[in-house]
Chains A and B, each alone.
Chain A
Amino acid sequence: MSGYALQIGAILCVHVIAAYAAYMTLAAGQLNLGIAGFMALGAYGSAVLSNAGWAMPQSIAGAVLLASLVGLCVSYPVLRARGIYLTIATLAFSEVVVALILNMESLGAASGLVVVGHLGFWPILWVTLGVVALVVFLASTRFGLCLTAIRNDAQGAAVFGVRTRRIEVTAFTIGAALAGLAGALYAHHFSYVEAQRFNVLLSTYAVLYTLLGGLQTPLGPLVGAALFTLAPELLRGTDEWRYVTFGAVIVVLMLLRSEGLFTRSFIHNLMHRRPAT
């Protein structure tokens, strides 16, 4: 594969993992706009560890641990709020993380940080496939069932004995860990991190991929991220109009397929000749 294709592939993988980070909290019915903040934690955490002489796998694992610990600590106060308040709280958290990094001279502040070591496309691909497999597995467990139950009716689920708070905290923490992983992979692929990259737009896109792909199946985020990372590349010929087209496509898509692209009935129609009723 050409260098260009490998680059796009690596970015695609990072987007897929970020989309799964958004999926974990969305699956429990809450919108997390803090993905970029956790990605920044992962990226800078792994960068600092690698620069301190740690081997790459260990430093990435350390960064994931850091992101999930912070996620766990943040989830308790943040999950006290609901709906929009929760969304804004995660957004505020993300902005605080990035602003703090921008103010730390030891982390390179606004000029960014060079990361020791480079991670090629193939290891990133294997890690991404591992993440997809993990989320698909989680969705098939009792935990996954509880997530769906909470998303559809939190009070109803609680009545039937689902420990909603524990499940929500777990989902949020797994989401934070995945975002940290995406950030760490990103940092080591480009061997350079700058805090300005981890802005609201990044979080928004992660959520967008997931919702466009669809929440009904754990494969939705994969489809959404793949399609909407590659589509602007394919539209590159139309140059400046491609994001105008992208916006219009999103609006039209939501009008026509409001449950997302990859729904259960879509899978059913693929497998069987008769459409699902």
Chain B
Amino acid sequence: MFAQQLMNGLMLGGIYALVAVSFTLTIGILNFLNFSIPALFMLGGVVSCALLAAGVPAVGAAAGALAATGLASLLVERCTFRWLSTSDPHIPLVSSLGFLIFFENLVLVYFGSDAVGYPSPFARASVKVSDLTVSLPQTGGFLLALVLVALCYVLLKYTKLGRGLRSIAESPAIAEMLGVKVGWTVSSVYLVSGLLAGIGGILFGISYLQVSWDMGSEVALKGVSAMVLGGMGNVWGAVLGALIIAVIEVMTIAYLNSEAVNVFVYGLLLVIIAFCPRGLLGDRVKMAERM
């Protein structure tokens, strides 16, 4: 029982981790809490679901969903980033909230308010390991999430693009002076962050076989909490936070009841922020001061 729940928690944590890293990229580098990420997560799930239902093969459906989230993310970038450096930090926040309302209700119009079954090509494939039931799509999703996060880390740490990104995190003006193509680099942050959220949405559909227009909100709240728990702008902190939160959530549902989940998850978060206001692993890119 305990081992099974622990595994379920880790699987859920993989999805939270993707969303948390998606948040942490725009926060750590651009100092911008992107409220449209729940919508991008939802678009990944819903668009792939619609394409699969229309008979498109799995690879095509995934590609189509990622193209949709990528385009949506770049659209958000056009309307938010330009204002980040110039004025009040709250303005891009409001714009991204506007996008959240826009996308969610657009899907609501076309998709209806009920949760829709996800026509996953893998369905409920699972194997038995002693008395554990291991869901294959969930395990695959979890491993994919870890690989993607690791790739993000490598991208940030070792590539030219990553160096550009980190220099923008320090100071966009100086980065531009030193020859970093700020506009292009920023677009790529939005693209990567949007794609991570979109992949998270697809994995959610494959793992839990259900998508709906408001699937993003709850997951994104947990994702933001995970990011803060681990320390903003810190990729591995986001993963650690996501796994902790998901395991607490699953354990609470298993041993107490589902109403008590938020007491423990957000209670822990509140205590952590009160006693170590920079998260468990601290923010490596110290961006918070500028806020």
Q: Which residues of A contact B (CB under 8 A)?
A: 26, 31, 77-78, 80-85, 87-89, 91-93, 95-96, 98-100, 102-103, 109-110, 200-201, 204, 208, 211-212, 215, 240-241, 243-244, 246-251, 253-255, 258-259
Residues of A within 8 A of B93 (CB): 31, 211
Residue B291 interfacial (CB < 8 Å):
yes
Q: Which residues of B contact A (CB under 8 A)?
A: 27, 33, 79, 83, 87-88, 90-95, 97-106, 108-109, 217, 221, 224-225, 228, 232, 259-263, 265-267, 269-270, 273-274, 277-279, 288-291
Nearest CB of B to A171, in Å? 16
Decide: A247 and B225 in contact? CB cutoff 8 A: no
Q: A96-B266, A110-B259, A247-B105 are in contact. Are A81 and B273 (CB under 8 A)?
A: yes
Give the distance in Å from the alpha carbon of A247 to the alpha carbon of B39 in the complex: 12
- In the complex, which of the residues A81, A92, A103, A212 contacts B277, with contact meaning CB atoms closer than 8 Å? A81
- In the complex, which of the residues B98, B99, B101, B273 contacts A92, with contact meaning CB atoms closer than 8 Å? B273
Decide: A254 and B269 in contact? CB cutoff 8 A: no
Decide: B277 and A258 in contact? CB cutoff 8 A: no
Residues of A within 8 A of B102 (CB): 244, 247-248, 250-251
Q: A88-B224, A240-B108, A244-B109 are in contact. Are A250 and B95 (CB under 8 A)?
A: yes
Sample (13) of A-B pairs whose CB atoms are under 8 Å apart: A81-B277, A84-B228, A85-B228, A87-B33, A96-B266, A103-B260, A204-B97, A240-B105, A246-B105, A247-B100, A250-B95, A253-B98, A254-B95
- In the complex, which of the residues A89, A110, A253, A255 contacts B273, with contact meaning CB atoms closer than 8 Å? A89
Decide: B33 and A84 in contact? CB cutoff 8 A: yes
Q: A212-B94, A240-B109 are in contact. Are A88 and B79 (CB under 8 A)?
A: no
- Counted as pairs of residues, one from A and one from B, with CB atoms less than 8 Å apart, the total is 142
Residue in B103, B224, B273 with the greatest tally of chain A CB atoms within 10 Å: B273
Interface SS, B side: helix
Q: Output the nearest chain B residue to A151 by Cβ-Cβ distance.
A: B88
Decide: A250 and B273 in contact? CB cutoff 8 A: no
Residues of B within 8 A of A82 (CB): 277, 288-289, 291
Give the distance in Å from the alpha carbon of A215 to the alpha carbon of B27 in the complex: 23
Q: A99-B261, A211-B91 are in contact. Are A84 and B291 (CB under 8 A)?
A: yes
Residues of A within 8 A of B228 (CB): 84-85, 88
Q: Output the nearest chain A residue to B218 by Cβ-Cβ distance.
A: A200
Nearest CB of A to B268, in Å? 9
Decide: A83 and B109 in contact? CB cutoff 8 A: no
Decide: B225 and A88 in contact? CB cutoff 8 A: yes
Decide: B270 and A254 in contact? CB cutoff 8 A: no
Residues of B within 8 A of A258 (CB): 83, 87-88, 91
Nearest CB of B to A72, in Å? 15
- In the complex, which of the residues B94, B95, B263, B278 contacts A85, with contact meaning CB atoms closer than 8 Å? B278
